[in-house]
């Protein structure tokens, strides 16, 4: 077996070099000498945090060899080690104590000091094909009819019921120590992703109560907002949703308008946007305390269930009859308060809400798995309250994604939670307007603003985007910035713009649609006038 040929020699080493002969020897040994090979010309499959290749046995069996991406910008080396150890323990636990279809783990090592020379998990290959291959755009394609869709969702409801039975006394991630499974540090997305593992002073568990868990996530969100890059997250200027536009071209045009707007004045990583997220995080603590009364009494005594954090289509495998054959990618899995488990997954990606027509299948599957006598307690679980949580899961769904920055429209998530507590009074925009003028937030704004880019630096970012000094797009972005009073409330020395209504300016769907319609009318008018000549 050829090996150690270098990254340039074979596609297999695209992400990292490893000892292929040692891998094949290990796999063959674990199958009592069945010969095994690893194609040097195969291209690794890449996920968000890992890459994977296949090893093939002479009898046709295939295994997956998976390794973390080296030097991932959003994860520290320490986090990579802990995530691998926790995922391996979680898969082994589920294999022993449940019949949930997950990969078999044959061997793993979280450190590079092993014969293969890189961290890895060696596991069984998922049977069937991923649900992603049956999806086209935002709708299932012709391979799946509504009955098949509901069949998949019903099975996910059943699996969620089974996970609801796997409960622990603490909130955290599962690890294996001396042959025992234990709950350790919480490696949830909200604690680890986006470099949040680097934040000091954040309690990381294990947690003995829901309040400790939520306060820790809120603290991580606040520190992230104050100090870390925010990426695409702009509270008052969400990324346009594809579903709001009739075709991809209009959606891309709307995204361009939004990107122009947030570039002018460094809005995303600027102090005003950062403080907006701090205001939201502070309010979130109160919203959770008010809404959590709807969740009380689900388990007795209080306990916490294992929850797959990323049930996306690419992680769900099915056979030709749409039976779920395997669920993969269990990293970031933790135990959680039951309401967070009982919210349906997001499709096609975690950040997308499940369509109402698909939601019914999930809800009915969970209810069916609970059995005919839903009034009887099952393992300390109030089945009626659990089913009620599934039916009313919007708050929990939004909370999970908002805390983890797993969204392109944070204000929509926050608005849903806000209106769950304040259904008919105190508008969200008015609340933010009132908070922005408070001395605490103005002081915080002044402090954070010291780290903002200088005016010359901001102008350079604008010049890099707008190659011509006075394009329509640049003029529009600056005009919208002026009328939005961006940052005005935080800085009393700024003059008010064109708006002073007690409301904050939200650059969202209706604004971009109106501008795109205006541009279309202008193009049509010019074309008509040219035809007249």
Check which CATH number belongs to the domain holding 92 and give it: 3.30.200.20
Q: Is the dihedral of CA 308, 312, 316, 321 positive or negative?
A: positive
Does 151 map to a domain? Answer: yes
How many Cα atoms sit within 13 Å of 304 on the Cβ side?
Answer: 23
For the cut 70, the answer to whether the pLDDT of residue 212 exceeds it is yes
What's the pLDDT at 459? 82
Better-predicted residue by pLDDT, 195 or 74: 195
* pLDDT tens-digit series, residues 122-143: 999 999 998 888 765 444 444 5
320 has a pLDDT exceeding 60: yes
What share of the chain has pLDDT > 90, as a percent? 61
- Backbone phi, then psi, for 195, in 5-degree steps? 70, 20
Q: What is the pLDDT of residue 20?
A: 95
440 within domain boundaries: yes
Which residues pair with residue 51 across a beta bridge?
A: 46, 67
Is there a domain that residue 311 lies in?
yes
Count: domains in the chain: 3
- Cα separation of 111 and 138, whole Å? 39
415 within domain boundaries: no
* Higher per-residue confidence, 90 vs 498: 90
- Shared-domain flag, residues 181 and 318: yes
pLDDT of res. 1: 43
Least confident range from 144-153, 403-412, 453-462: namely 144-153
pTM: 0.90
Task: Flag whether 417 is in a domain.
Answer: no
Query: Do both 274 and 401 map to the same domain?
Result: yes
In a domain, 412, yes or no: no
Last residue of a domain, one of 125, 142, 166: 125
Shared-domain flag, residues 141 and 100? no
Q: What is the pLDDT of residue 465?
A: 76
Is residue 503 very low, low, confident or very high in pLDDT (cuts 50, 70, 90)? Answer: confident
Of 125, 160, 183, the domain-final residue:
125
How far is the C-alpha of 188 from the C-alpha of 307, rounded, in Å?
Answer: 10
Do 185 and 172 contact (CB within 8 A), yes or no?
Answer: yes
Residue 418 lies in a domain: no
Residue 490 has a pLDDT of: 83
At 527, the pLDDT band (50, 70, 90 cuts) reads low
Domain boundary residue, one of 377, 407, 437:
407
Q: Are 21 and 53 found together in one domain?
A: yes
Mean pLDDT, all residues of the chain:
87
Let me know whether 285 and 356 are in one domain: yes
Query: 119 with 211, same domain?
Result: no
Asked if residue 137 and residue 201 are part of one domain, the reply reads yes
Domain match, 8 and 102 both: yes
Same domain, 244 and 292: no
Q: For the residues 264-286, what does the mean pLDDT come to?
A: 95
Owning domain of residue 50: 1-125
Identify whether 112 is part of a domain.
yes
Q: Which of 126-135, 176-185, 476-485 has the highest mean pLDDT?
A: 176-185
Is the pLDDT reported for residue 499 higher than 70? no
Mean pLDDT of 189-212: 95
Least-confidence region, from 1-5, 184-188, 474-478: 1-5
Residues 381 and 318 in one domain: yes
**Residues 4, 94 share a domain:** yes
Q: How do residues 55-70 score in pLDDT, each as one tens digit?
A: 999 999 999 999 999 8
């Amino acid at each position: 077996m050829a090996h150690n040929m270098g990254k340039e020699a074979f596609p297999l080493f695209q992400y990292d070099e490893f000892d292929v002969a040692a891998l094949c020897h290990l796999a063959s040994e674990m199958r009592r000498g069945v010969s095994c090979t690893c194609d040097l010309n195969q291209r690794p499959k890449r996920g968000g945090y890992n890459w994977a290749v296949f090893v093939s046995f002479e009898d046709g069996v295939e295994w997956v060899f998976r390794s973390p991406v080296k030097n991932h910008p959003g994860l520290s080396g320490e986090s990579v080690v802990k995530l691998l150890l926790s995922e391996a323990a979680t898969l082994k636990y589920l294999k022993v104590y449940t019949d949930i279809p997950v990969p078999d783990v044959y061997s793993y090592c979280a450190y590079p000091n092993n014969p293969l020379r890189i961290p890895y998990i060696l596991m069984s290959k998922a049977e069937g094909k991923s649900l992603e291959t049956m999806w086209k755009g935002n709708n299932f394609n012709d391979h799946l009819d509504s009955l098949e869709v509901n069949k998949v969702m019903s099975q996910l409801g059943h699996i969620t019921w089974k996970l609801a039975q796997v409960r622990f006394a603490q909130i955290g991630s599962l690890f294996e120590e001396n042959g025992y499974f234990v709950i350790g540090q919480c490696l949830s997305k909200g604690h680890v992703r986006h470099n949040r593992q680097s934040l000091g002073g954040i309690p990381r568990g294990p947690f003995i109560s829901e309040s400790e868990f939520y306060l820790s996530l809120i603290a991580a969100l606040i520190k992230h907002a104050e100090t870390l890059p925010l990426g695409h997250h702009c509270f008052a200027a969400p990324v346009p949703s594809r579903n709001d536009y009739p075709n991809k071209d209009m959606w891309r045009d709307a995204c361009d308008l939004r990107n122009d707007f947030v570039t002018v004045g460094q809005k995303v990583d600027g102090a005003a946007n950062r403080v907006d997220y701090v205001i939201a995080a502070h309010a979130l603590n109160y919203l959770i305390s008010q809404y959590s009364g709807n969740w009380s009494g689900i388990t007795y005594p209080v306990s916490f269930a294992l929850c797959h954090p990323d049930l996306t289509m690419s992680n769900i495998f099915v056979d030709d009859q749409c039976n779920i054959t395997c669920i993969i990618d269990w990293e970031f899995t933790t135990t959680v308060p039951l309401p967070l488990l009982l919210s349906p997954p997001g499709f096609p990606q975690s950040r997308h809400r499940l369509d109402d027509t698909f939601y019914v299948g999930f809800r009915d599957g969970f209810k069916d798995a609970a059995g005919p006598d839903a009034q009887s307690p099952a393992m300390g679980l109030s089945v009626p309250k659990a089913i009620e949580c599934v039916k009313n899961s919007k708050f929990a769904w939004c909370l999970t994604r908002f805390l983890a920055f797993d969204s392109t429209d944070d204000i929509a998530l926050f608005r849903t939670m806000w209106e769950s507590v304040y259904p008919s009074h105190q508008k969200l925009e008015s609340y933010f307007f009132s908070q922005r003028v408070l001395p605490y937030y103005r002081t915080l704004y002044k402090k954070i603003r010291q780290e903002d880019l200088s005016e010359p630096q901001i102008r350079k970012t604008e010049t890099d985007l707008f190659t011509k000094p006075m394009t329509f797009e640049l003029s529009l972005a600056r005009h919208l910035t002026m009328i939005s009073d961006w940052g005005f409330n935080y800085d009393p020395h700024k003059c008010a713009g064109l708006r002073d209504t007690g409301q904050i300016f939200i650059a969202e769907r209706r604004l971009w649609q109106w501008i795109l319609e205006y541009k279309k009318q202008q193009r049509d008018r010019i074309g008509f006038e040219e035809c007249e000549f």
